[in-house]
Amino acid sequence: MQGIPPRELRVVALVTLLQFINIMDFMMVMPLGPDFALALGMDVSNIGIVAGAYTLMAAVVALFGAHYLDRFDRRPALTIAIAGLSVSTLAAAFAWDLYSLVAARMAAGMFGGPATSLAMSALIDVVPAARRGRAMAIVLTSFSAASVLGVPFGLELARWFSWQAPFVLVGSAGLVLTVLAYFTLPALREHLDGPPVTDTLLRFVARPIVRESMVIISLAMFGAFLLIPHLSTYFQFNMHYPRERIGLLYLVGGAVSFVVMQIAGRTIDRFGSVATAWVGCAILGLVLLGQFMLELAWPALLVFVMFMAGMAVRGVSAQALLSHVPEPARRASFMSLQSATQHFSSGSAAVVSAWMLYERPDTSLGNVPLLAGLCFICILLAPVMMGRVQKKLHAREKAEAAALSAA
C-alpha cells in the first residue's frame, strides 16, 4: 500500500476488513448448512431458505436505504450498521430452530446491505479518482480472502467445536471492528455540506447514466452467477476432478485472483476501466468458449484460474468506473441501488441456471454449453455498456469544466 496517504489508508483498511467480515458472514452459511440442519433438527432442503433470508432482506433494505443513507454522516451510520450486523451474526449462534435462525439471518441482511453501501461510499469520499482503481482492488481482495482462508477456517472451527463457533467468531470480530470504525474513521460529512439534492430518488434513478450503470451491474452479476453456483458440481462430474482436491482449486484460484486484482487496479489507474475490462472479458470469453462451450477438456486448474482471474479483472474495472457516476450527495443511494441490483441479479441467475441445467444419468450436468453461451453474451455486453457510461462521464466532466471557466 505504498504511496497511499495515512487518512486514505485507514479507510481502505477498515473497508477491506468490513467487506471480509460481511462476505465471510454470507458465504459460510451454505457450507455450514448440513451441520446446523442436523443440530437443529431441520430438513436439509431448508438450508436454501436460511441462505436466501439474508439475500432477500439485503436487497429489500438496499432499496429502502437508497432513499435515506445519504442524509447521515457516514461514520456513525456505518458504525451502527457494522454493530447491527455483528449482533445479528452472534444471535444466529443462539438459534434453536429454523424460524429463529431465519430471523437472525434476515436481521444480518438488514444491516449487512447498508454496511456495504456505506463502506464503499466512504471509500469513494476519501480516495481521489487517480488512486481509486488501486484502492478498489485492495478492497475487493476481501472476497478472495474470505473464499480461500475464511470459509475453510470456519468449517474447521465448526468441526473442532460446534456449528455455532463460526458465527461467534465472525460476530465478535465485527464488534471489534465496530469499535475501530468509531475511533479511527474520520468524520465523513462532506456530502452533507455540499449543494442540497434537488431531485427525488426516482428522478435520480431515471438518469440515463444511472440506469446504464445498473445494467452493467445486472449483466456482470447475472452472467457470473449463471455458472458460479455450479462450478464445484461441473468440475467433479463433468471434468471428473476428484472431490478431495476441490479445495485446491479454490485455494489457487483465490490466490491468483488476489494478485490479478492488484495488477488490474494499477492498470485501471493508468489505462482506464474500459480497456482493462476488455482484457478481463477476453480471458473469460476464452475459457468459456474453449471449455464450457466447446468442451475441449482443458486442465481443470487452468480453467478455474482463468475463470477467477477474468472475473477479478472485470469486477474491479466495473467498480472503479461506476465509482465516478454518483455525486457526493448521492453516493450511498447509488451504492444501495447497486447492492439491490447485485442481489436480485444473482438470485435471478441462480433460478435461470437451475431451470436450464439438468442431471444426466452419469450425474454430470447437461446444457452447460447453452448456459455458458448466455454467460458469454452477458460478458460481451458489459464492457460495451461501460464504454457508454464512460462517454457520458467524459461529457459531464467537460460540461463542469466549461461551467467553472465561465464562472
For 183-210, how does the pLDDT look when each residue is reduced to its tens digit (9 = 90+)?
877 666 565 555 555 556 677 778 889 8
Examine the domain organization and report whether 258 and 185 are in the same domain: no
In a domain, 118, yes or no: yes
Print the domain residue range for 182: 1-129+162-189
Taking CA 232 as the corner, what is the angle to CA 374 and CA 375, rounded to the nearest 5 degrees? 10
Same domain assignment for residues 90 and 8: yes
For residues 246 and 265, state if they share a domain.
yes
The tally of domains found in the chain comes to 2
Whole-number Å distance between alpha carbons of 212 and 225: 20
Cell of 4: 497511499
Q: Which helix (H) or strand (E) covers residue 365, if one does?
A: strand 365-366
Q: Are 324 and 238 members of one domain?
A: yes
Alpha-helical (H) ranges within 127-235 are: 129-145, 151-160, 164-184, 190-193, 201-206, 208-227, 231-233
Tell me, yes or no, whether 62 lies in a domain: yes
How do the residues of the chain divide into helix, strand and coil, expressed in percent and rounded to 5?
A: 85, 0, 15
Residue 225 lies in a domain: yes
Cα 395 from Cα 232, distance rounded (Å): 44
The answer to whether the predicted template modeling score (pTM) of the entire model surpasses 0.75 is no
CA-to-CA distance for 383 and 173, rounded, in angstroms?
A: 37
Q: Walk along the chain (407 residues) and give the pLDDT tens digit of each residue.
A: 555 677 777 778 888 888 888 878 877 776 677 677 778 887 655 665 676 678 778 878 877 765 666 666 677 888 888 899 999 999 999 988 888 988 998 898 888 878 877 777 777 777 776 776 677 777 777 766 776 667 677 777 887 888 888 899 989 998 998 888 888 776 665 655 555 555 566 777 788 898 999 999 999 888 887 887 677 778 878 898 886 777 677 778 777 887 888 888 888 888 889 999 999 999 999 999 999 999 888 999 999 899 989 988 998 899 888 888 887 767 767 877 887 788 778 777 777 887 888 878 887 888 899 999 999 999 889 999 999 999 999 888 888 777 777 76
Q: Note whether 210 and 261 are same-domain residues.
A: yes
Q: Examine the domain organization and report whether 177 and 205 are in the same domain.
A: no
Residue 380 lies in a domain: yes
* 245 lies in some domain: yes
Q: Name every residue whose Cβ is closer than 8 Å to that of residue 154 and which is 6 or more positions away in sequence.
A: 24, 28, 31, 32, 166, 169, 170
Is 142 within a domain?
A: no
The answer to whether residues 300 and 170 belong to one domain is no
311, 306, 304, 313: which is closest to 251 by C-alpha?
Answer: 304
The reply to whether 157 falls in a domain is no
Which residue reads 436466501 in cell numbers?
Answer: 52
CA gap 179, 82 in Å, rounded: 10
Sign of CA dihedral 303, 309, 315, 321: negative
266 lies in some domain:
yes
- Statement to judge: residues 184 and 204 lie in one domain: no
What would the pLDDT profile of 300-334 be if each residue is shown by its tens digit?
999 989 998 998 899 889 988 888 888 776 776 78
Residues 244 and 339 in one domain: yes
173 and 254 inside one domain: no
Q: In this structure, are residues 219 and 385 in contact, taking their beta carbons and an 8 Å threshold?
A: yes
Do 237 and 386 sit in the same domain of this protein?
yes
CATH code of residue 290: 1.20.1250.20
Q: Do residues 214 and 185 share a domain?
A: no
CA dist., res. 152 & res. 145, Å (int): 10
